[in-house]
């Protein structure tokens, strides 16, 4: 299982060090750029699910391109 954690900067070193103490947990730091890209993808997928459920109105590809 993979998890993405959002931790306050001042608490991150403690949490990362704690996780490193578990043999079965691997940690990998994301750059701020990669974190922003992942967040954008998550928001896009959330919007897509809302559109499919009819809770949000989408726009057509034709309108998007014009």
Residue 36 lies in a domain: yes
Residue 64 lies in a domain: no
Residue ranges making up the domain that contains 42: 31-55
Q: pTM for this one? A: 0.61
Q: Does 17 reside within a domain?
A: no
Domain contains 47: yes
Q: Which SS3 state, helix, strand or coil, does residue 50 take?
A: helix
Instruction: Summarize pLDDT for 10-30 with one digit per residue, the tens.
Output: 999 999 999 999 999 998 888
pLDDT band at 4 (very low <50, low <70, confident <90, very high): confident
Task: Tell me, yes or no, whether 25 lies in a domain.
Answer: no
Please indicate, yes or no, if residue 16 is contained in any of the structural domains: no
Question: For the chain, what is the domain count?
Answer: 1
Structure tokens at 56: 């949000």
End-to-end CA distance of the chain: 41
Q: Is 13 a member of any domain?
A: no
CB 56 within 8 A of CB 47: yes
Instruction: Confirm whether 45 is domain-assigned.
Output: yes
């Amino acid at each position: 299982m993979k998890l993405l954690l959002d931790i306050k900067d001042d608490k991150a070193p403690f949490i990362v060090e704690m996780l490193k103490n578990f043999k079965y947990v691997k940690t990998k730091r994301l750059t701020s750029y990669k974190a922003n890209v992942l967040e954008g993808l998550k928001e896009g997928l959330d919007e897509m699910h809302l559109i499919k459920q009819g809770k949000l109105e989408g726009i057509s590809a034709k309108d998007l391109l014009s």
